[in-house]
Structure 1
Amino acid sequence: MNNVNSLARINNVVFIFTILIAHTFLMQQSYAQAVNVEEAVAKHFPSQQLNNQPSKSLPSNLSNEPTLIDNEDQQSLRLSDNSNSELGRAIEQLKSQVLQLNRELFILEEDLLFPASTQIAIFVSVDIGRFFKLDSVEIKINEQDVAGFLYTDRQRIALEQGGIQKLYLGNLKTGTHQLTAIFIGSDSEGRAIKRAITHNFEKLDDSVMIELKLVDNTLNYRAQLEVEQWVL
């Protein structure tokens, strides 16, 4: 519990700190850019006031003829463009740093909540999927329901195209355990079918990674379940 509370506090502090840095940086850059543009406009059009009051007459320097901008004005505009480019690069860099920080926090969270000595992870994959259209999966460990998932068409197609789903991540004490998986779906003719499998395994001090594979059998034109325990 202490680890969970500490992790929550770290997450909150990092999030608030990131938001404050981003807000301060953006405010500074926006102010600097506004000052550069305002100085350039004020110098080129000295009789124009930057306010919301309409001008009664057109200034003499605002005519239909093109107006030349001196070198200092051009330099100010170039500085403004450079400021925009630097701001964009800085924002992208900040986004990248935040994403990297989130990944590191996610790994830290898993290490704290699911240490290797008690960790068990269960994955689901589908081979082709011609003889079994997957609708849902139920997982039991030692006769206790631990996970279930109802698939959309998009998620099912992703699995059939080679994706692997992490269905369950939890803790388990050392010793002998029994895993039961129930796959529910329909066959190629639309009839409801169910496939189930039981797997006994030994939990030691290392993490246990188990993949449940739904495989098409071309000999009998049926789908079957296979279990593969990963060796890390």
Structure 2
Amino acid sequence: MMFQFKVLLAKFACISLMLSMSLHSQEAEKTMQLNLDEKTVTQQLQALRKEVIALNRDLFVLEEDLLFPSSTQIVVYLSMNVGTYFNLDSVELKLDDKTVTHYLYTEKQIQALYKGGVQKLHIDNLGQGEHELTAFFIGKGPENREYKRATSLTFSKTAEPASVELSIVDSSVKQQPLFKAVEL
């Protein structure tokens, strides 16, 4: 009788194990289906994000074309090749004696400029004729002294778009930074 009880108990254990495995496999199947649904939704969201980014870029280009038509457009860029004689803190830009931009730099932005980056500092509409651009560079000069220097450029705006590059370069001969404004 004890033997039959043990056999019956063993059969019961096998049946409960098979039921447990069956329930577990059904739960695993449901979990897999939910994961597939989540992946599909995630993939759809990522595709939608990409479309929104592309649309935003296109809208930005259209807005820039409408606000700054090429016949009146001027763009001012900033580039640097410094580090030894000058550490940039900020730039103030005046166009025809009117302050149009004052930009304060973070350490990451300065490092990007040191590595060859070029910043679009200002974009504006200008009428045709003579104009004066003045840029003030503020930072730390040699021996960590406060340093403020300016450079100016007088240029003639035509019907074509105008571009100006402001550049800061180290002069090892003078052991000073040089500030230049060049019409491109």
TM range (shorter): 0.7 to 0.9
Counterpart Cα distance in 2 of 1:70 and 1:184: 69
Counterpart Cα distance in 2 of 1:96 and 1:69: 40
Residues 30-109 of structure 1 mapped to structure 2, 5 A cutoff: 66-68=20-22, 78-109=32-63
1:202 maps to which residue? 156
Number of matched pairs:
170
For residues 40-79 of structure 1, what are the alpha-carbon distances to aligned partners after superposition, in whole Å with 9 as ceiling and x for unaligned? xxxxxxxxxxxxxxxxxxxxx9889633159988766554
Code of the residue aligned with 1:109 in structure 2: it is: E
1:9 maps to which residue? none
Q: Is the 8 A contact 1:118 1:174 kept in 2?
A: yes
1:170 maps to which residue? 124
Counterpart Cα distance in 2 of 1:67 and 1:128: 69
For residues 195-225 of structure 1, what are the alpha-carbon distances to aligned partners after superposition, in whole Å with 9 as ceiling and x for unaligned? 2111111211221111100010111111001
Counterpart Cα distance in 2 of 1:74 and 1:135: 59
Counterpart Cα distance in 1 of 2:168 and 2:28: 67
With normalisation by structure 2, the TM-score equals: 0.81
Residues 9-24 of structure 1 mapped to structure 2, 5 A cutoff: none
1:67 alignment partner, SS class? helix
Supply the RMSD in Å over aligned alpha carbons. 2.6
Counterpart Cα distance in 1 of 2:67 and 2:50: 26
Task: Structure 1: give runs of 5+ residues left out of the alignment.
Answer: 1-60
Q: Is the 8 A contact 1:133 1:188 kept in 2?
A: no
2:60 alignment partner, SS class? helix
Q: Is the 8 A contact 1:128 1:161 kept in 2?
A: no
Q: Is the 8 A contact 1:215 1:224 kept in 2?
A: yes
For residues 81-105 of structure 1, what are the alpha-carbon distances to aligned partners after superposition, in whole Å with 9 as ceiling and x for unaligned? 3322221111110000000011011
Counterpart Cα distance in 1 of 2:32 and 2:92: 62
Displacement after TM superposition at 1:168 (Å): 1.0
Structure with more of its chain in strand, by fraction:
2
Give 1 or 2 for the bigger CA radius of gyration: 2
Counterpart Cα distance in 1 of 2:37 and 2:94: 58
Counterpart Cα distance in 2 of 1:110 and 1:124: 20
1:229 maps to which residue? 183
Q: Do the aligned partners of residues 134 and 74 (structure 1) sit closer, same or farther apart at CA in structure 2, a change above 3 Å counting?
A: closer
2:88 maps to which residue? 134
With normalisation by structure 1, the TM-score equals: 0.65
Q: Do the aligned partners of residues 113 and 64 (structure 1) sit closer, same or farther apart at CA in structure 2, a change above 3 Å counting?
A: same
Task: Structure 2: give runs of 5+ residues left out of the alignment.
Answer: 1-14
Percent identity reads 36
Code of the residue aligned with 2:112 in structure 1: it is: A
Displacement after TM superposition at 1:183 (Å): 0.8
Counterpart Cα distance in 2 of 1:159 and 1:62: 70
2:100 maps to which residue? 146
Q: Do the aligned partners of residues 73 and 194 (structure 1) sit closer, same or farther apart at CA in structure 2, a change above 3 Å counting?
A: closer
Q: Among 166, 170, 173, which residue is 1:212 paired with?
A: 166
Counterpart Cα distance in 1 of 2:136 and 2:28: 71
Matched, 1:193 2:147: yes
Code of the residue aligned with 2:142 in structure 1: it is: S
Code of the residue aligned with 1:148 in structure 2: it is: H
